[in-house]
Amino acid sequence: MTSLNAHKMTKEEALNRVAALCARSEKCAADIRRKLEKLKLEKTTIDEIIHYLTEQKFIDEERYARAFANDKMRFNKWGKNKIRFSLRQKNINKTRIDEAIANIAPKEYEEIMKNELAKKNKLIKEKEIYKRKQKLLQFAASRGIEEHLAYELIDLIVQKN
């Protein structure tokens, strides 16, 4: 029985594969390291490939963090706390994370978070305002919305009803 991974992948083959992956979409070093580890490459080979990709700008933490933060905010409707945590999980430098979070357009961010909370508010059947706010706060926390912003937006949304 033969499979595609029957032969041990060479450094060049692995490099070509992950370079093509990086060319298609932004990737961080942690993502690439995970891919290369699945290919059963040696640690030194993995380090060399990641170093080369970083040197050639296939991997750029700053660019990755900015793209990740904007995409997660716009498409997944994540708050800043959830974005920050997720980037930390990917071993992105704290300074890069702070820069990416600071790069998020404040008006757009608030509008998206407000819309998400308003949608959730319509789905909550609870009539008692305290319990309704509590459920909205739990939702806001699960989305990673900062506490001060969540309170502010929830007060606005609940007052309208």
The residue extents of the domains of the chain are 11-55, 61-102, 106-160
- Report pLDDT for 99: 98
Taking the C-alpha atoms of residue 58 and residue 75, their distance in angstroms, rounded to an integer, is 24
Q: pLDDT, tens digit, for every residue of 53-100?
A: 999 999 999 999 999 999 999 999 999 999 999 999 999 999 999 999
- Report pLDDT for 13: 95
- Report pLDDT for 2: 40
Q: pLDDT, tens digit, for every residue of 41-59?
A: 999 999 999 999 999 999 9
Stated pTM of the model: 0.89
In angstroms and rounded to an integer, the radius of gyration of the C-alpha atoms of the chain is: 21
pLDDT at 5 over 70: no
- Report pLDDT for 1: 38
User: Average pLDDT of 127-154?
Assistant: 97
- Report pLDDT for 7: 62
C-beta pairs of 112-118 under 8 Å, 24+ apart in sequence: 112/73, 112/74, 112/77, 113/77, 113/79, 113/140, 113/143, 113/145, 113/149, 113/150, 113/153, 114/153, 114/156, 114/157, 116/77, 116/143, 117/145, 117/150, 117/153, 117/154, 117/157, 118/157
- Report pLDDT for 8: 77
